[in-house]
Structure 1
Amino acid sequence: MLRDVVSSVFLLLGALSCLLGALGLLRLPDLPARLQAATKPQTLGLLLILIGTAVRLEFENAATLVLVILFQAVTAPVISQIVARSAYRTGTLDRDLLVVDELTARMDAERGDSGGTAPGHRK
């Protein structure tokens, strides 16, 4: 009985987190905010759902879910970073909305430019 309650709480919290992340993807205005909504709540929701499932399983089967949790926790932030950098480099991201822009200087250094930032963009 206690395992059922604990499992149900984790599953419901995970589903709620995934729902909030999906709503964030629909409602948030720009790419960085949507990446936050796609990465953090979705990852947390999946982790909670997997923990809720692991509570109901035997140890041997639950150990497999721990590997899935670790893989998800490592890959989701990396994928989000790659998508953000791709959007930045292709011009899809509105750079004027950024509070701090450290990537322009790095990109200029990679290209060998010594003129600083591109016109209209903050350093």
Structure 2
Amino acid sequence: MSVEVGSKVKGKVSGIKNFGAFIELPERKTGLVHISEVADQYVDDINEHLTVGEEVEVKVLSIGDDGKISLSIKKAKAPAPKPKPKKEPTPEDFEKKLAGFLKDSEERISTIKKQTESRRGGRGGKR
């Protein structure tokens, strides 16, 4: 398989530096995966994600005029499924939430009043 921009190829990690990893590609070529292209999340230590000799699939991002090959591991992976869009709230949903809130509030106020009255001797503060 030839190394062309946009293609996905398998390679072997041949070296790791703090800024990225060198990947040995087919046709005796070597490319660099920058640390920002290793994983979807922030990578502080590349050694936590890759080891020398590990086989990885990479996507060829660019090939410079000087022959430098820029690679990405995270772009070689299939895109994560998109989350389902949330249902837009309707006026009925709002009314249900409001009714539930009012019921809950009334129950809490009622409980507080009962506790207060019991502390005053059950007369409810009427004199």
Q: Do both proteins adopt the same fold according to a TM-score greater than 0.5, normalized to the shorter chain?
A: no
TM-score by length of 1: 0.27
TM-score by length of 2: 0.26
Q: Which has the larger radius of gyration?
A: 2
